[in-house]
Amino acid sequence: MPTLILRRFGFAAFTIAFVSMIMFAAVEALPGNVCTSFLQRLAQGPRLERCIEQQGLDRPAIERYADWASGALKGDFGYSLKKRKPINEVIGERLANTALLGGLATFLAIPLAVFLGIVAGVRRDRPLDLSLSGIAMLAMTIPEFVTATALIYVFAIVLQWFPAVTVMRSGMGFFDMLPNVVLPVLVLSAVLIAHIMRMMRASVIDVMASDYVQMARLKGVPERQIIRRHVVPNAMIPALNVIALTVAWLLAGVVVVEKVFNYPGLGTLMIQAIYDRDLPLVLSVALIFSAIYVAVNLLADLAALMIDPRLRRGGH
Amino acid sequence: MLQLINTIISRPSGAIGLTLTALHLAIALLAPLIAPYDPTVQNADAVLLPPSLEHWMGTDTLGRDIFSRVLHGGRLAISVTFAGAVIATVWGSFAGIIFGTVGGRIDEYFMRLVDAFLSVPWLLFLLLIISIGGAGPSTIIPTLGFFYGAAVLRVIRGAAMQVAARDFVTAAKARGEKLWPILTREMFPNLSDVILVEGAMRWSWMLLAFSSLSFLGFGATPPTPDWGLMVAQERGLLSTAPWAVFWPCLALSSLIIGINLLADAIGKALGIDRATAMAM
């Protein structure tokens, strides 16, 4: 058991190291360097020299990677070209804002999706299941910016319940923020709910067909109790993995949704950094997103180990 | 083939999917012939007109005919993502079949790399590549193809492992067949159905990815008529001219839904359980 947990931690560490190397190498592969790409036609003379010195570009790539990686571990991501500030200062508040959005969406979506998935799975192929599954399909396939635009039209323009774009001042209290996050959270959780619900439904259907459920039925256990005692706990395990995978989608979705609502989070920061060709900042935000994803996956793995004793035996 | 189409349209969702996809492909092909106006010609005297007999879907902020732009709006997205989906399916299934057949240590280590690679959220990866290589199809097609191919690889490798465990493959190995004949004659014919469905499904997700990129300003470049870009450009005037946003949204969503339903129906008609394939 302890070696198993250690191995999961090891794989998470390996993943994040590998990902950071790929991303760093991708930037290295570009023609020119970070400074020429940022300064474009102005890349000459003392301006270029200052930039090269500030970014430490005169040193070999391996050394710079080691510096960047060890700095990132301590929360020091280097220096933003456009903002002329240390990157961790730029990121701080943005990270909190994105965490608020993602956190609320996740906490809203998971219980609801699990519940709907159970309902749909138990009532397989009945009208309720068909309509739930149909709505889930729509939520998964319609692009987030389309859903968001539709919600803005209905709730911000026609009904005027919520603001269409985020109105935010720094130092705002949690409850003042709430009207700003309602619509973005709704968009994000709609897709999360759809993905998790589909998996939960499939998983419930599998378990319902299993021998032990059949056995319980034959013993005369009431259906309600079968679902609560046998179906739900067993169906949760495969669904847990999908919950972790949907976080990967959430991190991508958050970029689009933040852009639609002009929400001051990491996503809009990254898009602005791309417009500005501020590669050190782009790289840092991408690394933070990947780290969040790997961490969530690790948590899901460990949770699965806790729920399911069968996983604790054997190699992997 | 005819039989397959019959099975697909026997289900309402399959019939809807096939109709939507065929309709969109036909429109994209014929757009230059059927569009009443040039989609890029601006008209300062006809800015933001509501829908009328002259302009069925109204006009946008630059006085361009929205109906003509909507008809043209899928051409770039469809061709870019189709190319990307072909690249992804070809390399993903090729590598997936090899690793699924060979198995063992190499397969195990390589899959760890693939898993690590897949853990970069796709949009971030694309944005990073775009910020380095610039926007536009020449960057986006190979990147989408490469990245989605890794996901195809994962699924096809899982399916290939099941085929590789069956008797006829063992028999071929026992006969002393080389790897290549086993791949082409034993493995591929038994996996082509899965590959087809996988490719169609990836195509629909890729359309979603490309239109999101266009929306963010990294896909199509103005004045190209493109649904994602149209929504991004016109949504500032959502309260005064909702039609300029509504029609591209509808066109884009119906195409993605159509391909998705079609892929699902092909899968069901061929007896492929996508729920289990997705989970792997």
pLDDT value for B44: 80
Residues whose CB is less than 8 angstroms from the CB of residue A181 and which lie 6 or more positions away in sequence, other chains included: A100, A101, A104, A263
Judge: A238–B217 Cβ closer than 8 Å, yes or no.
Answer: no
Query: Is there a contact between B253 and A146 if contact means CB atoms under 8 Å apart?
Result: yes
**pLDDT number for residue B54:** 82
Yes or no, beta carbons of B231 and A293 under 8 Å apart: no
Return the domain boundaries, chain A: 87-291
Which SS3 state, helix, strand or coil, does residue A82 take? coil
> Is A197 in CB contact (< 8 Å) with chain B?
no
Instruction: Report CA-CA distances (Å) from B276 to A11, B38, B280.
Output: 24, 47, 7
Q: Tell me how far apart the alpha carbons of residues A192 and A208 are, in angstroms, rounded to a whole number.
A: 24
Right CATH for A87-291 from 3.40.50.1100, 3.20.10.10, 1.10.3720.10, 3.10.129.10: 1.10.3720.10
Q: Are B28 and B78 a contacting pair, CB within 8 Å?
A: yes
Which chain A residues in 32-51 lie under 8 Å from chain B, judged by CB atoms? Answer: 37
User: Residues 153..192 of A with a Cβ closer than 8 Å to B: which?
Assistant: 153, 157, 164
Q: Phi first, then psi: what are they for A79, rounded to 5°?
A: -125, 130
Contact B123 A141 (CB under 8 A): no
Query: E strands within A249-300?
Result: none
Residue B127 · residue A297 · CB < 8 Å: no
Question: Which carries the bigger pLDDT value, residue B30 or residue A304?
Answer: B30
Measured between beta carbons, which residues in chain A are less than 8 angstroms from residue B239? Answer: 157
Chain A residues with beta carbon closer than 8 angstroms to that of B256:
141-143
Q: pLDDT of A99-157, one tens digit each?
A: 888 889 988 998 999 999 999 988 888 899 889 988 988 888 899 999 999 999 898 88
Residues of B in contact with A241 (CB under 8 A): 279
List the single residue in A37, A143, A275 with the smallest CB-CB distance to B208: A143
Other beta carbons within 10 Å of A224: 8
Is A294 a residue whose pLDDT tops 50? yes
Per-residue pLDDT reduced to its tens digit, A175-219: 777 788 889 999 999 988 998 898 889 888 888 888 888 888 898
The residue of chain B nearest to residue A277, with distances taken between CA atoms, is B131
Neighbour-count burial for A52-64, b at 16+ CB within 10 Å, e otherwise: beebeeeeeeeeb
Both tokens of residue A71?
């700095």
Q: Which residues of A touch B113 (CB under 8 A)?
A: 18
pLDDT one-digit tens code per residue, A53-84: 777 777 787 888 888 888 888 877 777 877 77
**Contacting residues of A for B215, CB less than 8 Å apart:** 143, 145, 256, 259
pLDDT grade, residue A170 (50/70/90)? low
3-state helix, strand, coil in chain A (%, to 5): 80, 0, 20
Contact A282 B130 (CB under 8 A): no
End-to-end Cα spacing for chain A? 11
* Whether the predicted pLDDT of A316 surpasses 50: no
Q: Which residues of B touch A137 (CB under 8 A)?
A: 257, 260-261
Is residue A79 helix, strand or coil? strand
Point out the residues of chain B with pLDDT beneath 70. 119-120, 273-280
Cβ contact, residue pair A143, B279, below 8 Å: no
What was the pLDDT predicted at B278? 45
**Cβ–Cβ gap A157/B238 under 8 Å:** yes
Q: Decide if A48 contacts A60 (C-beta within 8 A).
A: no
Name which of A54, A14, A18 is nearest A34 in CA terms. A54
Q: How far is CA B91 from CA A210, B66, B170, in A?
A: 37, 38, 25
Taking the CA of residue A215 and the nearest CA in chain B, the distance in Å comes to 25
Dihedral over alpha carbons A237, A242, A247, A249 (to 10 degrees): -170
Select the residue of A202, A271, A293 nearest B119 (Cβ to Cβ): A293
Q: Is A107 on the interface with B (CB under 8 A)?
A: no
Tell me: the pLDDT tens digits for A220-269? Answer: 888 888 888 888 888 887 777 777 777 777 887 888 999 999 888 899 99
Look at residue B186 in the predicted model and tell me its pLDDT.
Answer: 87
Chain B nearest-CA residue for A279 = B131
| Alpha-carbon gap, residue B268 to B266, rounded angstroms | 5
The ipTM (two decimal places) reads: 0.85
Interface of A with B in 55-94 (CB under 8 A): none
**pLDDT of B105-155, one tens digit each?**
888 888 888 877 776 677 877 888 887 777 788 889 998 999 899 989 988
Does the CA dihedral A224-A228-A230-A236 come out positive or negative?
A: positive
Closest listed residue to residue B238, CA positions, set A261, A265, A179, A141: A261
Q: What is the pTM of this model?
A: 0.87
Cβ distance of B129 and A293 shorter than 8 Å: no
B128: chain A residues, CB-CB within 8 Å: 23, 26-27, 282-283, 286
Residue A315 has pLDDT above 50, yes or no: no
How many contacts, defined by CB atoms under 8 Å, are there between A and B?
136
Say whether A15 and B115 touch across the interface (CB within 8 A).
yes
Q: Tell me: the pLDDT tens digits for B141-180? A: 998 999 899 989 988 998 888 888 888 988 888 888 888 8
| Residue A86 dihedral angles phi and psi, to the nearest 5° | -60, 140
In the prediction, which pLDDT does B279 show? 37
Residue in A249, A256, A279 nearest the CB of B215: A256
pLDDT at A76: 79
**Nearest alpha carbon to residue B255 among B228, B237, B233:** B228
C-alpha separations of B244 from A154, A276, A309, B74, B86 in Å: 16, 29, 56, 16, 32
CA angle B117, A295, A67 (to 5 degrees): 70
Residue of B nearest to A249 (CA): B121
- Residues listed for chain A: 316
